[in-house]
Structure 1
Amino acid sequence: MSLLPDQYDKYIRFFKFMMKYWNSDVFSYTEEKMANTETEIETESFDHSPEELADDLKSMGPTYVKLGQLLSTRPDLLPSPFLDALATLQDEVEIVDYQEIETIFKEELGVRISKAFASFEKEPLASASIGQVHRAVLHSGKIVAVKVQRPGIRKRFIEDLDTLMAISEKLETYSEMGRNYAIHSVIEELRYVLLKELDYTLEAQNLATLKKNLAEFEHMFIPAPILDYCSSKVLTMEFVEGGKITKVSPLKRLDISFEPLVDELVKSYLKQIIVDGFAHADPHPGNVYLTPENKIALMDLGMVAKFSNEMQEIILKLMIGLSNYDGSRVADILLSISEYDDKKDVSNFKKDVIRKTQENENARAKDLQTGRVLIKMNQMAAKEGIHIPVELNILGKILLNLDQIVAYLAPKYDVQQTVKDYVQLLMQQRMKENLKPENLMEVFLEMKELTENLPYRLNKFSELLADNKMKIQVDAIDEQRFTGAFQKVANRITAGLIIAALIIGAAMLVRVPSSWTIAGYPGFAFILFIIAAIIGLYLLYEILLKDESKKEK
């Protein structure tokens, strides 16, 4: 991609940022320099503070704010204090004028705001990097929240993303660090997430899906989308009364037991992750409200996490291992889904995981942080050169936010016991699901295919065995390499014998008088000595230098 003149300012801003941080110990915080994960990292030891990095990204615009939020899920790239600072990164943006909001609404839905709603508050409730939220009332009397996308934001995001894609591609081509940390893949993931978040139609679908999935939890509230007033740039949904869940007054926490709510919150997320494979991926306190009816409301479904059936099984096993404080089992599960060199010694990683898992035993909500434990384990893995799937990073961030809410509302709540009991229940339900007729039919079809093919295969096997045509191929050694090495040894022995013969022959010829001499020696004998010396020196070079360099490779 060429550097267009109107994109110069974007490249200049990015390179100024990189000039500041490229040689900083923040981004040179590689596995070799990673501190002992048993102790907290001191932010004073870095030449830039976490808050400074967050402010620099914020000053570069909304795309870089989103990049910072994405980097907060990469403990293999940044130290934990910086991950925490980036996880709460929010940009400060100006309020969009009401006239522009009205114009966008009419362009998207073909109707004026005054016709669509009985009333519409011109002052926004909130203004974020992508959209602005207003309170409105439908003609039916229902109170709704209307989120309208900021004008020109889609174009700006795409331009910034194109710039980042071009730069990251060059970084991976010319920089070893860029290749090691897959910078281009990080930007590709950011592009995928942002383009999804820019489409409010998808967010409306996500709200409807999550509301249906969590219908069994009476204390959970998901605002339903008003589909008649939704488009790619406008999202209308039920209004959520109340406030941030971590802003509940101390008196209210003394007056009301929040344990039933916390219990449902934890179970609802376990169901989202393990059963549905579709989860609200950003449950930070700003997106989780407590309603006047004492229900927990989940908002902002622009970012969701999706887990495959295979990953759901892995997470189920992982949660069982964590709830039983079985560190050895947890380590084995993590290694089974990770990428690493088969020759790598993973004993240190196993030891660290076992210690970290056992530390959680007998801990209550105020001390227990399952999400932080998972993130710490990811850091341990990164230190050892083990690459854990990104889904577990997302899981760690989800649980980290839940830990904060649980610890605030019910400090004595036993999270691990709830996880253990509910996971067992989910396991039983999963087993029942597998016994459904449609699942059994698949098993029967597999058995039918095996039964049909088994007689033929047995007959073929016995026929080959009777005719002495059965062959077993064992790939134990590299036959070609072994033969080549053996041939090399034989050639060198032969060369040694030739050298010895040349030297002995030359020594015998020295005693024979000759009219042709070189330096006073018989000429033919002298030539034989020279040939023997050349062959001997070449053989010595092959043995001492070439063989040693191949051994190092």
Structure 2
Amino acid sequence: MAKSASTPTRRFLKLAGMTATIASKTITHSIRNIKADDQAKTSAKSQLFQEIGIQIADTLGEMKGAVMKVGQIASQYKDLFPKEVSNAIAKLQRQAPAMPFSDIQKQVESALGKPLTHIFSDFEPEPFAAASIGQVHRATLHTGQQVVVKVQYPGVDEACASDLKQVRLALRMMGLLKIDKTLQDKLFAEIQDSLDNELNYQIEAHNLEIARNFHQAIDSKIIIPQVFHEYSSRHILTLSLEMGESIETASTWALPIRNQLGRRLIQAIGQEIFYLKRFHCDPHPGNFAFREDGSVIIYDYGSIKQLSEQTVEHYRALVNAARESNIPQLEQHLKQLEVIEETGKFPEMLYKQWLEVLLRPLTTQYNFEENSSHHDAMILAKQSLKYWDVFKPSAETLMINRTVSGHYWNLIHLKMQDDLSDLLSDLVPKPTV
């Protein structure tokens, strides 16, 4: 990890420097545009946000480790920030630090209490994957079992809590958080919980076992890696090696196979949401792999959202109200989920247009490659713009919304063409009269 950001003081100084630079840009922007017309102000503000986003992404990316993970998690909550800032921070998810193998070896041996050669018969020194808080190596146990070993960088967990506070302070001072303090507190508490869970590989091991047992009982072609507890700890996670092809490769296969993979993926996530009530909430394509026999492999259960029965019931009711275009009922459940504060503020005609667009991929013979719902949503968004302040980010809905929309794009990548109405009916049965 970068030595320039290896201590709390140095990290604080870098973040403080970032805040000061952006504050200066913001003041300069205000002075320059004080007499500009509305169109010029809007254009200048968008340009300012783009510059701010790049500054934040470059600073957090350079610092790596804890603060980079904070930036990545923050980027998942796109409703918190202007879109220009969100888009820039999102690139952090594609960056990754490198760590010398000697440090990796020390970390493994310290965590597991044995020399590396006593634990593994082979351990590849070059990582085949890396992220902000650790990297992944292929290895072989003395039994001949091929495994992957996730190794967390030293000191990352100790730094994350303070880094999150500093990032939030910087964003708030720059006026980039678009929501009131009460909701900020709730959302950042959820970000902190998510961060704590991702930093504790024992929690991820527990999540993996729950998901593995759940899916094995339903569908043997949903594959979750097996945890090897003897070779795992809070900072080390050893899993069975489960190989599959990327979504890019899978998108070249025959349509029936692509449809089978897409249906299986959506069914698995839907079952986790509506029945297991704890779901894998990082829909990044790199967290999934595919086989031509129709199998779907799901990696990385560090990011999990647990749902209350009450929240799940509200979502079931939302789906059923949407099916019936029952706007009063829809709004009541949106209010319960804290998505809206008052009913009757958004035009019923627009609600019905949005429901048709949003339900189209799940209720009709739909060509995901053509992506008509997204195109029509862009048109509707312009018509709805003046009503957007009716809706607000909700701690209960952000991760579900992100997961569902992320998997919509995964189906687009798979170039799926299918009617998923039967799948929706299985996941959310219509109420019996």
Check whether TM > 0.5: yes
Instruction: Tell me which moved more, 71-80 or 256-265.
Output: 71-80
Q: 1:177 to 1:162 in 2, by over 3 A?
A: closer
1:128 Cα shift? 1.4
Matched with 1:190 is: 191
Judge conservation of contact 2:283–2:406 (CA < 8 Å) in 1: yes
5 Å matches for 1:446-457?
none
Judge conservation of contact 1:171–1:183 (CA < 8 Å) in 2: no
1:384 Cα shift? 2.7
Instruction: Tell me which moved more, 98-107 or 204-213.
Output: 98-107
Matched with 2:151 is: 148
Matched with 1:213 is: 214
Structure 2 residue 109 is matched with structure 1 residue 111: no
Matched with 1:403 is: 408
Structure 2 residue 271 is matched with structure 1 residue 271: yes
Matched with 1:225 is: 227
Q: 1:319 to 1:200 in 2, by over 3 A?
A: same
Q: 1:382 to 1:84 in 2, by over 3 A?
A: farther
Instruction: Tell me which moved more, 236-245 or 49-58.
Output: 49-58
Judge conservation of contact 2:152–2:236 (CA < 8 Å) in 1: yes
Match of 2:244 among 242, 267, 270: 242
Letter of the 2:128 partner, please give it: L
Q: 1:337 to 1:391 in 2, by over 3 A?
A: closer
Matched with 2:69 is: 66
Q: 1:308 to 1:368 in 2, by over 3 A?
A: farther
Structure 2 residue 282 is matched with structure 1 residue 282: yes
Letter of the 2:227 partner, please give it: P
Deviations 1:277-331 (A, max 9, x none): 1101112101111146541111111110110010011111223344556555433
5 Å matches for 1:436-515?
none
Q: 1:186 to 1:239 in 2, by over 3 A?
A: same
Judge conservation of contact 2:251–2:258 (CA < 8 Å) in 1: no
Structure 2 residue 304 is matched with structure 1 residue 301: no
1:259 Cα shift? 1.5
Quick one: distance in 1 between partners of 2:247 and 2:176? 45
5 Å matches for 1:512-531?
none
Quick one: distance in 2 between partners of 1:170 and 1:84? 18
1:182 Cα shift? 4.7
Judge conservation of contact 1:323–1:416 (CA < 8 Å) in 2: no
Q: 3-state DSSP class of the match of 1:46?
A: helix
What root-mean-square deviation, in Å, do the aligned CA atoms of Structure 1 and Structure 2 show?
A: 4.0
Matched with 2:346 is: 348
Quick one: distance in 1 between partners of 2:44 and 2:242? 38
Q: 1:390 to 1:43 in 2, by over 3 A?
A: farther
1:15 Cα shift? 3.0
Letter of the 2:306 partner, please give it: K
Judge conservation of contact 1:337–1:388 (CA < 8 Å) in 2: no
Quick one: distance in 1 between partners of 2:320 and 2:16? 46
Matched with 2:259 is: 259
- The structure with higher relative contact order (CA 8 Å, sep 6+) is 2
Quick one: distance in 2 between partners of 1:12 and 1:82? 21
1:45 Cα shift? 4.0
Quick one: distance in 2 between partners of 1:330 and 1:369? 20
Matched with 2:398 is: 393
Matched with 2:34 is: none
For structure 1, which runs of at least 5 residues remain unmatched after alignment? Answer: 1-5, 29-34, 36-40, 432-553
Judge conservation of contact 2:225–2:239 (CA < 8 Å) in 1: yes
Q: 3-state DSSP class of the match of 1:317?
A: helix
Q: 1:170 to 1:218 in 2, by over 3 A?
A: closer
Q: 3-state DSSP class of the match of 1:145?
A: strand
For structure 2, which runs of at least 5 residues remain unmatched after alignment? Answer: 1-6, 31-37
Quick one: distance in 2 between partners of 1:406 and 1:325? 25
Judge conservation of contact 1:171–1:179 (CA < 8 Å) in 2: no
Q: 3-state DSSP class of the match of 1:194?
A: helix
Quick one: distance in 2 between partners of 1:159 and 1:57? 14
Letter of the 2:72 partner, please give it: Q
Deviations 1:376-399 (A, max 9, x none): 8xx979943554531211111101
Matched with 1:124 is: 127
Instruction: Tell me which moved more, 351-360 or 391-400.
Output: 351-360
5 Å matches for 1:77-116?
77-80=80-83, 82-87=85-90, 89-90=92-93, 92-116=95-119
Percent of aligned pairs sharing the same letter: 22
Instruction: Tell me which moved more, 222-231 or 311-320.
Output: 311-320
Quick one: distance in 1 between partners of 2:83 and 2:281? 20
Q: 1:265 to 1:350 in 2, by over 3 A?
A: same
Quick one: distance in 1 between partners of 2:116 and 2:163? 32
Quick one: distance in 1 between partners of 2:201 and 2:133? 10
Q: 1:385 to 1:128 in 2, by over 3 A?
A: same
Letter of the 2:193 partner, please give it: Y
Q: 3-state DSSP class of the match of 1:237?
A: strand
Matched with 1:419 is: 424
Q: 3-state DSSP class of the match of 1:118?
A: strand
Quick one: distance in 1 between partners of 2:179 and 2:43? 26
Q: 1:158 to 1:381 in 2, by over 3 A?
A: farther
Matched with 1:359 is: 357
